[in-house]
């Protein structure tokens, strides 16, 4: 399988080969990150970028460009970016926590928690199916006619699954999961997430709605279509599916706690670990609760194929595993985009390493993943 996502790939390969023999110095990290990401920023005209790696408890940070072209505001490790679908990793953490605390079971059907959907096709789907996109054709976006809760429930009640592909990447499925999880806590989604995930994990710069006092840190995104300065628009199930905003330092902390949960409350530590277990098998990766699991080390062509647009835009065959696949030598990843932002996060638990890429331009997923993989390989000592 031959993949080529632009001229930047040549520089990525060269940079990845310059692997240090021991732990990186700060200067070596800055050089490696610059060599890898400068060509990507140039090729895709990315205004601003924040990249971080947490490795064995040490954080490395690289920033470049501007958060606001008009104001010339430089990106820092405290610039707030839209996470897009990386938000879903927080959603499933809340769902897993609800199960750990006995508020629901992920084997429950949707109709168990949303009685209005009793007797419908979606009502028979399990909560774990929602967390793994195992819905056989549920659209990626909420349809226009589902403009409020009542019309959304009517549309869902009438929806029929498509024959064929089992895995259908969908904001609707994860949005429903978030609604149900929050309901089990007796709160709105943003309130439940804040009180039961963000605050206990010490994520003080991660928001569904950016407070007015923090707006000066909130970057502007830039549209790939016409280069306008944009931010995410409100929409049905947006908070649950793609609505979180965060900065590099908070995201590094979130990944560090996913790798080493000793700094998290015991219930959250268990919940985060649960989200990492493989649940279904696709052509290129195991689908966990939102996280996509690859073998580590992962062949470049395999991870690029898994990040290709078709995996999100089309239904794909996926086989349920007989039982959840535990840890092991894996890479867990998740991309995310809004109209003006693009990001990627990855965990390599066996190396105690996490990666964050945040940009105020949405670029092709394979380009982010290739750059991220190159930086991971550059950080790890030779032979790892």
Active site residues: 85, 169
Specify which residues 27 forms β-bridges with: none
Per-residue tokens: 147: 């403009």
> 141 — alpha (psi -120 to 50), left (phi > 0) or beta?
beta
22 in Cβ contact with 335 (< 8 Å): no
207 in Cβ contact with 246 (< 8 Å): yes
Q: Which element (helix H / strand E) includes 52?
A: strand 48-55
- Opening angle at CA 303, ends 299 and 305, nearest 5: 115
User: For residues 276 and 327, what is the distance between their CA atoms, to the nearest angstrom?
Assistant: 7
The residue length of the chain stands at 384
Place of tokens 């976006």: 141
Q: Which element (helix H / strand E) includes 112?
A: helix 110-113
159 in Cβ contact with 120 (< 8 Å): yes
Residue 301, helix vs strand vs coil? helix
User: For residues 272 and 53, what is the distance between their CA atoms, to the nearest angstrom?
Assistant: 19
> 137 — alpha (psi -120 to 50), left (phi > 0) or beta?
left
Establish whether the linkage from the previous residue to 297 is cis, with ω within 30° of 0: yes
What's the alpha-carbon Rg for the chain, to the nearest Å?
Answer: 20
Residue 16, helix vs strand vs coil? helix
**3-state DSSP percent of the chain in helix, strand and coil, to 5:** 40, 20, 40
User: For residues 96 and 92, what is the distance between their CA atoms, to the nearest angstrom?
Assistant: 6
Q: Where does 220-265 have alpha helices with state H?
A: 238-242, 248-259
348 in Cβ contact with 240 (< 8 Å): no
């Amino acid at each position: 399988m031959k993949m080529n996502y632009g001229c930047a790939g040549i520089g990525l390969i060269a940079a990845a080969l310059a692997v240090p023999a021991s732990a990186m110095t700060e200067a070596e990290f800055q050089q490696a990150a610059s060599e890898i990401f400068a060509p990507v920023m140039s090729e895709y005209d990315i205004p601003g970028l924040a990249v971080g790696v947490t490795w064995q408890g040490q954080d490395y940070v690289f920033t470049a460009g501007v958060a606001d072209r008009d104001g010339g505001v430089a990106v820092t490790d405290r610039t707030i970016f839209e996470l897009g679908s990386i938000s879903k990793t927080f959603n499933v953490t809340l769902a897993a926590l609800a199960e750990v605390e006995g508020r629901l079971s992920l084997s429950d059907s949707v109709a168990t928690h949303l009685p209005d959907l009793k007797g419908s096709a979606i009502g028979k789907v399990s909560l774990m199916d929602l967390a793994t996109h195992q819905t056989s054709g549920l659209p990626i976006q909420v349809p226009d006619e589902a403009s409020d809760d009542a019309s959304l429930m009517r549309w869902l009640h009438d929806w029929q699954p498509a024959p064929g592909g089992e895995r259908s990447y969908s904001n609707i499925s994860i949005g429903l999961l978030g609604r149900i999880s929050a309901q089990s806590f007796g709160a709105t989604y943003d309130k439940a997430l804040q009180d039961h995930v963000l605050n206990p994990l010490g994520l003080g710069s991660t928001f569904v709605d950016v407070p007015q006092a923090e707006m000066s840190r909130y970057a502007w995104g830039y549209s790939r279509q016409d280069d306008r300065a944009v931010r995410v628009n409100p929409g049905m199930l947006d908070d649950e599916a793609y609505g979180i905003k965060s900065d590099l330092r908070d995201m590094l902390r979130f990944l560090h706690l996913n790798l080493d949960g000793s700094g998290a409350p015991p219930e959250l530590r268990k919940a985060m670990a649960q989200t990492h277990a493989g649940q279904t098998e696709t052509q290129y990766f195991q689908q966990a609760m939102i996280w996509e699991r690859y073998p580590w080390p992962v062949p470049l062509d395999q991870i690029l194929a898994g990040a290709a647009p078709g995996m999100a835009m089309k239904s794909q065959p996926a086989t349920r595993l007989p039982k959840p696949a535990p840890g092991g030598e894996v890479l867990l990843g998740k991309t995310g985009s809004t109209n003006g932002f693009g990001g990627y996060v990855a965990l390599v638990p066996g190396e105690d390493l996490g990666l964050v890429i945040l940009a105020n331009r949405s670029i092709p997923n394979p380009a982010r993943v290739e750059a991220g993989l190159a930086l991971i390989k550059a950080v790890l000592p030779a032979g790892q």
